[in-house]
């Protein structure tokens, strides 16, 4: 009888343990890993990107706003991007970019002011910031810490929001994915110089929204105001005679993904394919 009671107690304990395990919700880390795996299975999607930069130069407030809508098809990668760049006091410009993967790299086709040009690229180069799949992949795996922040709707889709923080060595990959290095290049700061200046500057917070039904990532938002403001202060301290008095007040990036596997193909127009080739002459993206 004692042996039966002992066996029954062990069985009851095992059943209780299994029931507790079944009721335990998946960890945020596991959910982001699952979303990362789901994203690798997607062949096409659409995304909308919004980058907002505000700074003060001497006593003048300047805003740089970039809005992009893009269609993406994978294997081989083809992108179509409609972009608006709006700089206060200067005005705005609209341009279209196609990027197509080839055997030797990529070809970029750009339409600006009604004229097309094309450029052969060994890699995506400056266009890498527009590769939303690769960028989302970096955000899904590059965090230092992550917490679940509740349920929210994104474009009518029920999602779970995860708030992340990245610091240390992984911060470089996140910043590179955001396109921030490209923005700094407009100030004459090269990638290596920027990476050196960013070392030890702290943390970058960002959030990711995961579709509760399909487990696919549908949005990420990145607030780089703090770290880029610190970078600007450090840059001015080291080059006070070269730069005017600049403060970076805001730098945020938001990307919303949609229409998964609903884009069959992207056709590059003939006028783009037959455009003037500027490779090696006046490179835009290499």
Q: Is residue 168 part of a domain?
A: yes
| Domain membership flag for residue 15 | no
Distance (Å, whole) CA 104 – CA 120: 9
- The CATH number linked to 101 is 2.50.20.20
- Reported as a single tens digit per residue, the pLDDT across 175-234 is 666 666 665 665 556 666 666 666 666 678 899 999 999 999 999 998 888 877 777 777
Neighbours of 222 (CB within 10 A): 25
- Quick one: how far is CA 93 from the chain centroid? 22
Q: Is residue 11 part of a domain?
A: no
Q: And the tokens for 84?
A: 């608006």
The answer, yes or no, to whether residue 37 has pLDDT greater than 70, is: yes
pLDDT at 33 over 70: yes
* φ, ψ dihedrals at 51, nearest 5°: -115, 125
Q: Which of 49-58, 144-153, 179-188 reaches the highest mean pLDDT?
A: 144-153
Of 76 and 284, more confident: 76
Express each pLDDT in 73-125 by its tens digit: 988 889 999 999 998 878 899 999 999 988 888 899 999 888 999 998 877 66
pLDDT at res. 222: 87
258 vs 137, more confident: 258
Quick one: average pLDDT of 170-174? Answer: 65
pLDDT tops 50 at residue 32: yes
- Give the domain range for residue 97: 27-277
19, part of any domain: no
Instruction: For residue 17, tell me if it sits in a domain.
Output: no
3-state secondary structure of 33: helix
181: tokens are 């290095």
pLDDT mean over 12-16: 44
Q: How many domains does the chain fold into? A: 1
Q: How far apart are CA 160 and CA 144, in angstroms?
A: 19
Task: Report the pLDDT value the prediction gives residue 8, as an integer from 0 to 100.
Answer: 41
Per the model's pLDDT, the better-predicted residue between 122 and 19 turns out to be 122
């Amino acid at each position: 009888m004692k042996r039966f009671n002992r066996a029954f107690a062990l069985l009851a304990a095992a059943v209780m343990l299994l029931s507790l395990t079944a009721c335990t919700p998946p960890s945020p880390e596991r959910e982001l890993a699952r979303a990362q795996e789901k994203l690798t299975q997607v062949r096409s999607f659409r995304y909308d990107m919004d980058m907002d930069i505000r700074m003060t130069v001497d006593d003048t407030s300047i805003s740089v706003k970039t809005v992009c809508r893009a269609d993406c098809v994978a294997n081989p990668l083809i992108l179509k991007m409609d972009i608006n760049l709006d700089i206060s006091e200067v005005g705005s410009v609209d341009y279209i970019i196609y990027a197509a993967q080839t055997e030797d790299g990529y070809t970029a086709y750009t339409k600006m002011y009604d004229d097309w040009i094309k450029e052969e690229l060994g890699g995506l180069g400056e266009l890498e910031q527009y590769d939303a799949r690769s960028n989302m992949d970096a955000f899904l795996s590059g965090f230092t810490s992550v917490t679940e922040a509740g349920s929210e709707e994104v474009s009518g889709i029920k999602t779970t929001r995860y708030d992340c923080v990245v610091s240390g060595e992984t911060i470089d990959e996140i910043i590179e994915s955001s396109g921030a290095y490209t923005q700094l290049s407009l100030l004459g700061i090269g990638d290596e110089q920027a990476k050196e200046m960013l070392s030890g500057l702290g943390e970058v917070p960002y959030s990711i929204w995961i579709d509760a039904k399909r487990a696919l990532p549908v949005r990420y938002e990145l607030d780089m105001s703090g770290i880029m403001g610190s970078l600007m202060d450090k840059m001015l301290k080291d080059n006070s005679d070269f730069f005017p008095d600049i403060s970076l007040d805001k730098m945020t990036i938001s990307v919303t993904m949609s229409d998964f596997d609903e884009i069959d193909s992207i056709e590059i127009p003939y006028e783009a394919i037959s455009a003037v080739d500027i490779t090696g002459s006046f490179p835009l993206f290499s």
